[in-house]
């Protein structure tokens, strides 16, 4: 359930903090996914990661290559609401030499299978910066529908950008 041809999702743990710290402090990695770019101390990253690991409303997974067990990214279901059967998904491919090779699609497919077929969620949503064309294209291919726009909600590289909201209903999931 937690793997595909090339990747495996395994539970995010405190052992993963050092690699996540590298990704979190790589502006190129986080430029398209995080609202507030910053340089984080090890202590800040540890506190952030421990909060994620112990959150009762999220499930976070390291994306690793199946053959090499090399960590290449992180994906999560966050803000899980069991009563209303919905959650938000996030993904970061931290290993830059893995960009553009379909790992994000594989990881999200595995995560969505888990969300819809095991957790029986009704809706999975996500937010994406309007300038992240590759991610928007991927989300549409996976069946996500555009649901709204937060106009000029993020200031990046001297300009205002929108945040686009997408969602996928369980009965529309292929």
* The pLDDT of residue 1 is above 80: no
Quickly name the fold that domain 7-172 has: Aminopeptidase (3.40.630)
Using one digit for the tens of pLDDT, what is the confidence trace for 25-53? 999 999 999 888 899 999 999 999 999 99
Report yes or no: 94 and 23 within 8 Å, Cβ to Cβ: yes
Report the pLDDT value the prediction gives residue 52, as an integer from 0 to 100: 92
Q: Span 71-91, mean pLDDT?
A: 98
The residues spanned by each domain of the chain are 7-172
> How far apart are alpha carbons 9 and 71 in whole angstroms?
10
Report the pLDDT value the prediction gives residue 42, as an integer from 0 to 100: 94
Report the pLDDT value the prediction gives residue 36, as an integer from 0 to 100: 87
> How far apart are alpha carbons 90 and 77 in whole angstroms?
7
DSSP string for residues in the chain: --B-SSEEEEE--GGGHHHHHHHHT-HHHHTTT-SS-----HHHHHHHHHHHHT-TT-EEEEEEETTT--EEEEEEEEEEETTTTEEEEEEEE--GGGTTTTHHHHHHHHHHHIIIIIS--SEEEEEEETT-HHHHHHHHHTT-EEEEEEEEEEEETTEEEEEEEEEEEGGG--
> How far apart are alpha carbons 172 and 174 in whole angstroms?
6
Instruction: Give catalytic residue positions.
Output: 139
Report the pLDDT value the prediction gives residue 104, as an integer from 0 to 100: 97
What is the average pLDDT value for the chain, to the nearest integer? 96
Q: Which residue has the tokens 């199946």?
A: 66
Contacts of 70 by beta carbon, 8 Å cutoff, 6+ apart:
64, 95
Using one digit for the tens of pLDDT, what is the confidence trace for 107-154? 999 999 999 999 999 999 999 999 999 999 999 999 999 999 999 999
Which neighbouring-strand residues pair with 73? Answer: 63, 93
Report yes or no: 11 and 61 within 8 Å, Cβ to Cβ: yes
């Amino acid at each position: 359930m937690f793997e595909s041809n090339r990747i495996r999702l395994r539970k995010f743990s405190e052992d993963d903090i050092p690699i996540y710290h590298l990704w979190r402090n790589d502006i190129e990695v986080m430029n398209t996914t995080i609202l507030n770019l910053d340089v984080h101390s090890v202590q800040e990253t540890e506190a952030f990661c421990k909060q994620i690991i112990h959150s009762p409303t999220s499930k976070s997974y390291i994306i690793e290559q199946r053959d090499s067990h090399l960590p290449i990214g992180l994906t999560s279901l966050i803000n899980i609401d069991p009563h209303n059967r919905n959650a938000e998904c996030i993904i970061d491919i931290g290993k830059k030499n893995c960009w553009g090779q379909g790992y994000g699609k594989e990881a999200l497919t595995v995560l969505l299978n888990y969300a819809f077929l095991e957790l029986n969620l009704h809706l999975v949503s996500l937010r994406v910066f309007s300038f992240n064309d590759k991610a928007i294209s991927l989300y549409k291919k996976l069946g996500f529908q555009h649901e709204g726009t937060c106009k000029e909600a993020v200031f990046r590289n001297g300009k205002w950008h929108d945040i686009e909201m997408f969602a996928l209903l369980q009965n529309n999931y292929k």
